Structure 1
Amino acid sequence: MSPVSRGRKNKKREPERAEPREELDPDHPAVREMLDNVVAALADFERVDDPLDGEYLAASLLAVGYGTGPEGTETFARLFIAEAENFAAPGGLAFLRCVAALTDDPIAGLATEAAEHLAAQGVSAPAWVDELAEPTTAGEYFRWSEDDGAGAVLYGSFHRAGRTDGFLLFVDDSDCGSANDLAPFVSAEALAEARRMTNEEESASESPMAPEEFRWLVESALDVRESHDREVIELGIEPPQPEEDDIPYEVTDVVLRARLRALPTLPKPAPVHAHPG
């Protein structure tokens, strides 16, 4: 899948990852440094002017837990929620509302509770935050199958509060069905251009997909990719850094998974992930 314009590219500030443990002590110097970076990033939410940018900024913080498993991800998120509530400013409230929109329970519930505490104290959020409460609905879903059976390109769009965003990803069947290329698009115009270019570059014609099939295929591919990345992280190897203007894979993973939760599910289990012999 060739890189195409994402529509709007913003370099996100990301806190340094602390060593994952079952419990992270906020008073540990490395953890405290990470949390100080999170607090500094909270002020950036007051300079955001639309909810998509807010979500990707929040995702850049939540992505610190990527590859640490559900328990590690939850531990980081809890720490960040506590810091945002203590921050007690519009940026902290905006971050908490974004976290509630991007995550599932129990993290979503904790973020909502913390946000309500701040609101009760008189803290007001930026105007764009209201759009996060609007429902996300399905858009269009397509697949281009690779001729050599190597995988497929998947396209999906989503609507919320009059805005459209979406994603293009390549599922690599030669790599256990992993999502090996993932591109976010933050406008209907950018999505239309991505679809047009994919139709020009792919030898196969686009094939419509049901939303539930798209969700099943994408979640399966994301899970395999995270499993592979987790193995690399556990070996102490740093994952490759993205190009200067690209949004990191793990950040897009957070937003895409949130969008997928708006779609229906297929009544079948995820495929068994087994490395080829």
Structure 2
Amino acid sequence: MLADLVDDASALAEIDDPLDAELAGAMFVAMSRADGDEWMAGFAGAFLPAVEARGSQAALTLLTAIGAMGGDAANPVTETARAAAARLRAAGVAEPVWAGDLAQPLTAGPFTRMHDDQDNLSVLIGVFQRAGRDHALMITVDHLHCGAAEDIYLLDTEGLSAAIAAIHRGARQDRVTIRTKKLGAPEFRWYVEQALEVRDVHDEEEGMVDDGVPEGPEPIDDGPGFAPLAVLTRSRLETLPPARRPRGASASAHTADRTTLDVLQQFAALVGDSGGPAFGLPAARRPLPQKLPAKRKKSDGPAPTYQIKVGLRGAKPPIWRRLLVPGDITLHRLHQAILGAFGWDGDHLHVFDTAYGQFGQADRDLGHRSDNAVTLEQVTPAVKDKIRYTYDFGDDWEHDILVEKTTPADPAVKLPVCVGGRRAAPPDDCGGVWGYQELIEVLADPGHPEHQERLEWLGLDDAGQFNPDEFDRDRINQRL
């Protein structure tokens, strides 16, 4: 068995991405933890020395992968594997091709926490980079089950965007409000460690049989499974600064167990094609979109000028812009105009929610049709019509677009143009409306522990350079 196992590791030596090797190491570490201290002692004292004794590149590959999983003080396996790997390298055994990339520093961030307005479910997201490759860990946390980690997803950049979009799409369909907050590395570590610790307690309680012996992990049908991904997650947390409890956050507490029906009704993490979770709470069926009106023809004459008010939902005091745009502006051009009016950088996905369907970057999985061929007057044919525009499915900047009036086209007026507004727009990637409010509070308090860090993030020398009450129409029109 040992020979077959080590021989299989020879293929692992030739892969390009060290993350695949880390996952293999995480599976062994998870296996070593399955049956308590005696089982771990067997791994460290007998299994790993037997692997080292083979003295081959495949043996070094396996030991390096296991040792990469950090120095869990409660598990001597990783330390033993690292020491054995060092001896084989010193003896001249060739390293796997990914060893150089694995040795490069791991950088981390951004970190995000998404949660529903009742705080029954939260999603913790951390992005990590090494050797030019990005990956993200997404941890779903069930606060109705003591705050235990429910699932862990390992995603690439594209998969993360799709997963976040799926969460927001499901939330909109289920009429659930999602709040998003950017976290510092210490706060992210605190939230994740809390969730993993509670999950450990639950697994230990649920894994006991009558004689007090753990039953061991359930078989893995697809993917690495929760236990190996928890090992990988802990190894990533070790690279972050010490955990710091966020202000206002409370430690997880055990509550009464719920029935299966409770779980289905109150917490549903549905895994779609993207591999990510989506909210799936019962709700009324969404009405089918209306048929899209026909686009203006040349024979219809020039399109009227639309005066629209674009207001940022949830902002208190209100943040809004009043724009003049041609009625036949495409929704994609309107998207660009809104970017200019609010100063968004445009690096994130967007969608228009209308009575005629959802329009953005064409995506069949998300149900979005292209916004390049649809005009504003098609989806808002009358004064007082309203549509919703969402930018950045992580921060979830939602805007209400109201048609205030229409006037005949004036060739002398260059459109689009901003004719009014209120307050500065929030900076990109600050964590949504709630994150922006916190940013304002942090900048107003020089004694806040994150004050200097936020100034550096904004590229400011002092907080006086940031004025949330400022509305600069000339600058907006320069961008437009």
Percent sequence identity over aligned pairs: 31
Aligned to 2:105: 135
CA distance in 1, matches of 2:87, 2:239: 27
Aligned to 1:66: 33
CA distance in 1, matches of 2:21, 2:92: 21
Cα deviations by residue, 1:173-218 (Å, 9 ceiling, x for unpaired): 1111110121112x32222332333333343132211111111111
Q: Give the counterpart of 2:194 among 197, 208, 220.
A: 220
Closer/same/farther in 2, CA of residues 225 and 135 from structure 1, 3 Å limit: same
CA contact (8 A) 1:63 1:250 kept: yes
Closer/same/farther in 2, CA of residues 176 and 81 from structure 1, 3 Å limit: same
Aligned to 2:140: 170
Aligned to 1:112: 82
Closer/same/farther in 2, CA of residues 76 and 121 from structure 1, 3 Å limit: same
Aligned to 2:56: 89
Aligned to 1:257: 234
Aligned to 1:144, the other structure's residue is in SS state strand
Closer/same/farther in 2, CA of residues 260 and 239 from structure 1, 3 Å limit: same
Deviation at 1:249, TM superposition (A): 0.7
1:180 is aligned to 2:150: yes
* Alignment coverage as a number of residue pairs: 242
Q: Give the counterpart of 1:234 among 188, 204, 208.
A: 208
Task: Show structure 2 runs of 5+ residues with no match.
Answer: 172-176, 258-480
Query: Which amino acid letter does the alignment assign opposite residue 251 of structure 2?
Result: P
CA distance in 2, matches of 1:139, 1:78: 37
Deviation at 1:146, TM superposition (A): 2.1
Deviation at 1:155, TM superposition (A): 1.1
- The structure whose RCO (Cα within 8 Å, separation 6+) is larger is 1
CA distance in 2, matches of 1:201, 1:182: 19
Query: Which amino acid letter does the alignment assign opposite residue 171 of structure 1?
Result: V
Aligned to 1:205, the other structure's residue is in SS state strand
Deviation at 1:263, TM superposition (A): 1.0
Task: Show structure 1 runs of 5+ residues with no match.
Answer: 1-32
Aligned to 1:102, the other structure's residue is in SS state coil
Cα deviations by residue, 1:76-121 (Å, 9 ceiling, x for unpaired): 3454432331121112212222223212165444323211211222
Tell me the TM-score normalized by structure 2.
0.46
Q: Give the counterpart of 1:197 among 160, 163, 166.
A: 166
Query: Which amino acid letter does the alignment assign opposite residue 133 of structure 2?
Result: R
Deviation at 1:48, TM superposition (A): 2.9
Query: Which amino acid letter does the alignment assign opposite residue 190 of structure 1?
Result: G
Two-structure CA RMSD over aligned residues (Å): 2.8
CA distance in 2, matches of 1:273, 1:69: 25
Cα deviations by residue, 1:52-90 (Å, 9 ceiling, x for unpaired): 111111111111133445675465345443233112111
